[in-house]
Amino acid sequence: MPVVPPETQTQIDIKDENGWTRGITFMMLAVIAIPTFVIGVVAVVALLNNNSASSEVSVQVELSEFKIAMSSSAVQPGDITFQIKNSGTVAHNFVIPKLSVRSEMINPGESTSVVVPGVAVGDYEINCEVSGHLAAGMKTMFIVSTDAPSSDSHVMASGEVMNSMTAMSWQEMDAKMAEVALKFPAKTEGLGNSELSPIIDDDGYKVFNLTASIIKWEVEQGKFVEGWAYNGQIPGPILRANVGDKIRIVLKNELPESTSLHLHGVRVPNAMDGVDPYTQSPIEPGQSFSYEFTALEPAVGMYHSHHNAQVQVPNGLAGALLIGDWKDLGMKSASGRLPDTDGKADQEVVMVLNDSGTIGLSLNGKSFPATAPYTLKVGETMLVHYFNEGSLTHPMHLHQPSGLVVAHDGAPLEYPFWADTLNVAPGERWTVAYTAKDAGVWAWHCHILTHAETPTGMRYMVTALIVSAK
């Protein structure tokens, strides 16, 4: 056995001691590290679980005229992301007044997200603050409750897209569209635009008696709303007079609030303009007021409320006032440019457009398939007065024939023009002469497509012109 020098043995002993020390140190560190690692793992798992439990939840919101649709109306308290899309045709915003939450203005077709952290238990109104939209019914309630389902098929993780039609096959869509179309014209209670015959008073005035009241109005089959009506109909009755007539319109107020009557597009003395408190006091519930004037010139006029009008008018308080023989005036303006067989207008039609309030998107107070069809024979002419009593512009389109626009706001045009689609802005009246050329059933609708069709078929501002052979 070899002899190890003392100095070498000392080096070996030091190395062994260093190795042993390092080993013990490593083992001690390992003993300390293992529980630390376990604690760390537990913490990470807990953190992941907590993140999973409080993962960002998104509620889908759709804005349109004039309503707010949500994928869920109740969720549990916590952080909420509202994914908002404007499916309407005008700008809207998203407001939660109680939380002082407000989105930017959202243009038609655009989307945005609003994150609201730490929403507490409570009931929250959501609305649009664009002038007139809230009053037109653009609001809904959102409930935050611990009793709300923690997992809802309609409340989705951030990034998912809600599409209620994804489960519908094209065959099912076709069947639903056909089902709706075949209901036209669906029967409903109530009919607007009936003509009101005047009473001739002893002083020579033609007297039209109107009563404003709230009624149940069937907009479409089975859908009854709280309508605000003149003489129990929406639109109110058509009033007709001749140039030179002395006219008295007596309005009785049976509403739960005050009202007034403005004769829009009709030349009247200032005292008869119906703008309280300037030209008169409001007509309080139970009271009446007489509007008197002499018809000085032809007019395609409206009569409608001018008191809380953003509620009263779209809810139904509107009607047509025609002064003069517009069948004759319209054909004179056409100056023989129509392919009419006898040079005479065979029909005169009043079509009142609406898009808001309790009545909503409608033609003469009805929504397709409950709208009324029109009929002509080839070679006959129909004179149509479009009245827009809504809040949006509506491009009205008759599939055939093209129309000759003969008057605007009750003034015959010096240069009539042809149009198959005509924009009718709020408050406007356009008069168009249509002469039937080809037999068939021709669709007639607003050309803002969401005002005329849904994934389950035609709706709202749609009717038809049925043309038969001579």
Condensed to tens digits (0 to 9), the pLDDT of residues 70-126 reads 988 888 898 999 999 998 878 899 999 999 999 998 988 889 999 999 999 999 999
> Reduced to 3 states, what is the DSSP secondary structure of residue 272?
helix
Rounded-to-integer distance, Cα 128 and Cα 94, Å: 5
Residues 65 and 43 reside in one and the same domain: no
Q: For residue 216, how many other CB atoms are within 10 A of its CB?
A: 11
Tell me: do 287 and 403 sit in the same domain.
yes
Per the CB < 8 A criterion, the answer to whether 284 and 327 are in contact is no
Give yes or no: residues 215 and 315 share one domain.
yes
Q: Does residue 154 carry a pLDDT above 70?
A: no
Among 157, 187, 218, residue at a domain's last position: 157
Q: Which amino acid is at 200?
A: I
Residues whose CB falls within 8 Å of the CB of residue 161, separated by 6 or more in sequence, listed in order: 60
Would you say residue 191 lies in a domain? Answer: no
What are the distances in angstroms from CA 446 to CA 79, 262, 310?
41, 27, 22
Nearest to 432 by CA among 424, 284, 204: 424
| β-strand partners of 421 | 397
**Neighbouring-strand partners of residue 436:** none
Note down the domain range covering 7: 1-53
Specify whether 123 is located in the same domain as 229: no
User: What sign for the dihedral angle of Cα 107, 110, 115, 119?
Assistant: positive
Residue in the block written with tokens 């077709």: 109
**What pLDDT shows up at residue 150?**
62
The DSSP string of 418-450 is EESEEEE-TT-EEEEEEE--S-EEEEEEESSGG
Of the residues 123, 140, 157, the one at which a domain ends: 157
Q: Is residue 169 part of a domain?
A: no
Asked whether residue 288 falls in the same domain as residue 422, the answer is: yes
Are 247 and 325 in a shared domain? yes
Q: 115 with 206, same domain?
A: no
Residue 165 within a domain: no
- Residues 22, 75, single domain; the answer is no
Give 47-74 pLDDT, tens digit per residue.
334 433 444 678 999 998 888 999 888 8
Tokens of 242: 């001749």
The pLDDT value recorded for residue 76 is 87
**Whether 276 and 325 share a structural domain:** yes
> In the predicted model, what is the mean pLDDT of the chain?
86
| Same-domain check for residues 218 and 263 | yes
Position 132 in a domain: yes
Split at pLDDT 50, 70, 90, the class of 167 is low
Model pLDDT, residue 2 = 46
Domain membership flag for residue 162: no
**In this predicted model, what pLDDT tens digit does every residue of 230-270 receive, in sequence order?**
999 999 999 999 999 999 999 999 999 999 999 999 999 99
Compare 293 and 51 and report the one with higher pLDDT: 293
Task: Answer yes or no: do 40 and 88 share one domain.
Answer: no
Residue 463 to residue 220: CA distance in whole angstroms: 13
Is residue 229 pLDDT above 80, yes or no? yes
Q: Give me the CATH number covering residue 346.
A: 2.60.40.420
Compute the distance between CA of residue 57 and CA of residue 151 in angstroms, rounded to an integer: 10
Query: How many other C-beta atoms lie within 10 A of the C-beta of residue 171?
Result: 8
The yes-or-no verdict on residue 12 having pLDDT over 80 is: no
What is the total count of domains within the chain?
Answer: 3
| pTM of this prediction exceeds 0.85 | no
- 90-99 tens-digit pLDDT: 889 999 999 9
pLDDT band at residue 17 under the 50/70/90 scheme: very low
Would 26 be classed as within a structural domain?
A: yes
C-alpha to C-alpha distance for 310 and 155, rounded to whole angstroms: 34
pLDDT over 60 (residue 307): yes
